[in-house]
Amino acid sequence: MPENYTEKEHTTFLRIKSLVQSFAALSLIWLALIFLLSVIEVSLNSNFHGLPLGFLKLLMWSFYIDLLFWLKFIPLLFILYAILYLIAPKLANISFKLFISLIFVIQLLLISYFNTALVMLGADLFGYSLEDITQTVGASGGVSIVSAVLFILLVLFNVVILNLLPKRFKLNFILAAVIVILAVIYIPVNAITSWNKVNLKSDYANNLITNKSEHFYSAAYDHYFPEIYEIDIYADSYIGDFIDKLTKAIPFEYVDEENYPFLHKDIENDVLTPFFEPGTEKPNIVIILVEGLGRAFTNSGAYLGNFTPYLDSLSSESLYWKNFMSEGGRTFAVLPSILGSLPFGQNGYLAMGPKMPEQLSMINLLNANGYRTSFYYGGDSGFDNMSQYLKLNNIDEINDLSTFPSSKYPKLPANNGFSWGYSDKALYQYYLDTRPVSSSQPQLSVLLTLATHSPFLIEEKERYTKKFEERLTELGFDNSKKENYRNYEKQYVSILYADDAIKEFMDSYRKRADFKNTIFLITGDHRIPEIPMSTKLDRYHVPFIVYSPMLKRTAEMNSVSTHFDIAPSLLSFLETNYSIKLPATMSWVGKGLDTTRAFQNIHEVPLMQTKTDLIDFIMGEYHLNGDNLYKFNEKMEEVLIDDADKKAQLINAFNLFKKRNAEIIKGRKIVPDSVFQNYTMSN
């Protein structure tokens, strides 16, 4: 020992050495447990869903992402651990073990959620009420005994490992120090690199290898500490100019952005009249919103195969948009988007509850023009505040779980005692039984279905399971492909059922006297996420069909439009042909349907993945997802690209929408009181 090396310094060195060794040992055990959970996750998905890539390849990518997640935490944990260790070593070890156990349990729950829903849980958890969560978990069947036992065994394994292994795991000091130093170095290096960006061949594969805790914590942080949206004006191009130049869109002329962020002069949106032979009486409007109806498995050209033969045949007799987009990745967005072309607020427009600002929609505008308005849903319309939104829009009737005569109409089969509500066939029959045929008053009816929602339990299961097997053969699938599709039998069986239910509904409606004067709109609220998705856009890609005996010609549109565009164009059509009264200023987010047959996108569109994830934006042929830029083609396939200029343009355009949307969150109005009062009427 050198002369200047005192006993006190020696003791301090030994304490630091012990601290570093102890911390590194526990950290490596934690990393091993993280790796173990990845093995379990990839194995579970292999068993229940099949794998888009080889098992080992996916596992290695999972380990890589896990390692980056682990490295991100180590420096901060080391500081906290060191402070506590120097005060009370035993308390530091116990605290670190408790932390590891908590993270382990959370990761287990997040993996279980992903394996069931095939989407990662993020801050959307905070966007639902306890009542909504209870209903969703209950209807999906809750937690099985096998899952509960497995969960308990894994938690016990974690506890045993953390109690036994550290006593037998003595790490070399130099190696322990290197681990800590590497973790510290990783922080600045990670900030200037994109090591954590992995782009595999499908969205499902990318989601599978993502560390679910990393995703959840990042989403939660962004939710509680949202970014401030800054608009960067390019040196030679004002933002509105480059948006309109890129999308070829007609710009909105806003009239009072400070007080009404979305209020603008109405623009010509009537693109439907050239396709119709209008009658003298105002037409009935029937809007059918099919739960989970994604383009991936709907109609010809669907990349997963056509599992909706009736809708496919109906599309050929209709106006059909094959590249249509929903605004949300869940049902929360569908009513405000289609009926009101409304912004999202913070957690979806409906989540504002009684604080939803007064706005104009198809419901109250058509009410003011002599229409009788109604909503039909087989479940509880209070879910997601749907009934509250509808009542605030002066809807005349809400028909849901509480109004169905239970003895006459079948409910969806219960799962562990829970059921979402009434079946699609029951919903359609209830509508036909209760809507007047010969009424002189025109009708607007909105029907939202349930059967194609998890847990995908339907009536006549045996009949549609047989149809599913027949469909696999009709689509020309070999035995290997058939086996893969059987992993999602419940989902596909429910889709075939939903398609058949629409056929029976339309066949019955054709016998009604008012059929000849009715316009039907059919679309999905979003794509079923419980079948693996190929791209980020896949979740929003839905069909849109406009069918009516009044059509004088049909068309298939390859151009991109969205739910935001339905209300502006439909109301403009009614204004042109039936002289309904509409205000000169509107607050629509959408600019109207594009009826161009060639592939193009003239819209700049925000898409809200979940109630807390406003992370997607499309403009032109480009898609911004978080920090990633994609380019998509006429099949809505997309590839990750590196184009700093285009990315900056989309970020600016997206931020412009977010700033307007933020004003609504703060309490700004959608429309002036005078406009609202002039074009609505109370029931």
Q: Rounded CA gap, 657 and 618, in Å?
A: 12
Whether residue 238 lies inside any domain: the answer is no
Domain match, 253 and 124 both: no
Domain match, 210 and 306 both: no
Residue 307 pLDDT > 60: yes
Domain match, 252 and 219 both: no
Whether residue 428 lies inside any domain: the answer is yes
Identify the domain boundary among 224, 258, 288: 224
What's the pLDDT score for residue 222? 81
What's the pLDDT score for residue 8? 58
Whether residue 231 lies inside any domain: the answer is no
Whether residue 496 lies inside any domain: the answer is yes
* pLDDT band for position 253 (cuts 50, 70, 90): very high
> How far apart are the two ends of the chain, measured CA to CA in Å?
93
Identify the domain boundary among 191, 224, 257: 224
Rounded average pLDDT over 576-586:
94
pLDDT tens digits, 154-191: 888 888 888 888 777 777 778 778 887 887 787 776 66
Q: Rounded CA gap, 520 and 340, in Å?
A: 18
Percent of residues, the chain, with pLDDT higher than 70 = 90
Q: What is the CATH number of the domain that holds 382?
A: 3.40.720.10
* pLDDT band for position 142 (cuts 50, 70, 90): low
Domain match, 490 and 607 both: yes
C-beta of residue 345 within 8 angstroms of C-beta of residue 339:
no
Other CB atoms within 10 A of residue 521 CB: 20
Residue 97 pLDDT > 70: yes
Residues paired with 607 in a beta bridge: 616
Domain match, 206 and 340 both: no
What's the pLDDT score for residue 176? 77
Whether residue 73 lies inside any domain: the answer is yes
Domain match, 191 and 281 both: no
Q: What is the mean pLDDT of the chain?
A: 89
Q: Rounded CA gap, 82 and 185, in Å?
A: 18
Whether residue 464 lies inside any domain: the answer is yes
What's the pLDDT score for residue 475? 97
Whether residue 237 lies inside any domain: the answer is no
Residue 455 pLDDT > 50: yes
Identify the domain boundary among 192, 224, 256: 224
Other CB atoms within 10 A of residue 555 CB: 15
Q: Are strands 616-619 and 622-625 parallel, antiparallel or unpaired?
A: antiparallel
Q: Which residues contact 258 (CB under 8 A, 6 or more apart)?
A: none
Domain match, 425 and 486 both: yes
Domain match, 220 and 247 both: no
Q: Count up the domains in the chain and report the number.
A: 2
C-beta of residue 540 within 8 angstroms of C-beta of residue 527:
yes
Residue 265 pLDDT > 50: yes
Domain match, 20 and 167 both: yes
What's the pLDDT score for residue 20? 86
Domain match, 499 and 421 both: yes
What's the pLDDT score for residue 233? 44
Domain match, 149 and 261 both: no
Whether residue 443 lies inside any domain: the answer is yes
Rounded average pLDDT over 591-609:
96
Residue 234 pLDDT > 60: no
Rounded average pLDDT over 538-567:
97
Supply the range of the domain harboring residue 22.
7-224
Of 125-129, 245-249, 323-327, the least confident = 245-249
Q: Which two tokens stand for residue 279?
A: 């009658």
Q: Which helix (H) or strand (E) holds 289?
A: strand 284-290
Domain match, 24 and 58 both: yes
* pLDDT band for position 236 (cuts 50, 70, 90): very low
Closest by CA position to 521, among listed 382, 339, 309, 385: 339
Of 51-60, 124-133, 424-433, 517-526, the least confident = 124-133
* pLDDT band for position 200 (cuts 50, 70, 90): confident
